[in-house]
């Protein structure tokens, strides 16, 4: 069995993962839930919940968002799920208007690299 591939993330992304993981942990504890219970609610293992709460970058984004929604952590600072759906719809409309292909991009500047 092969181990998981190490995922490199930019500093800001790492901070965001840790902040979101911390918010999920706080909300879970405030509800009086164990990691095992949260995992059963959102369809993830207890180990996955532990990794989410520690901000581990290799956890699937769907698992992270499921955990956040399950404990009531607002996504994108929105408490209303219908507003998030409206924003998603507007984004889809904008994507439909942009070209299907983009030109090859230049290399990422060194100052933006974190790994």
CATH no. of 11-75? 1.10.260.40
* Per-residue model confidence as pLDDT tens digits over 43-101: 999 999 999 999 999 999 999 999 999 999 998 888 787 888 899 899 999 999 988 88
Question: In this predicted structure, what is the pLDDT of residue 54?
Answer: 97
Confidence of residue 2 (pLDDT cuts 50, 70, 90): low
Residue 1 in this model has a pLDDT that exceeds 50: no
**Span 26-32, mean pLDDT?**
98
Residue 109 in this model has a pLDDT that exceeds 90: no
User: Largest Cα–Cα distance in the chain?
Assistant: 51
């Amino acid at each position: 069995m092969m181990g998981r591939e190490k995922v490199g993330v930019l500093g800001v992304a790492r901070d965001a993962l840790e902040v979101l993981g911390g918010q999920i942990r706080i909300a879970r504890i405030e509800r009086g839930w164990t990691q095992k219970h949260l995992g059963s609610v959102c369809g993830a293992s207890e180990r996955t919940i532990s990794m989410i709460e520690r901000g581990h970058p290799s956890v699937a984004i769907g698992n992270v968002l499921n955990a956040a929604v399950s404990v009531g952590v607002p996504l994108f600072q929105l408490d209303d799920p219908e507003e998030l759906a409206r924003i998603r719809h507007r984004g889809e409309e904008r994507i439909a208007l942009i070209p299907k292909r983009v030109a090859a991009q230049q290399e990422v500047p060194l100052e933006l690299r974190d790994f």
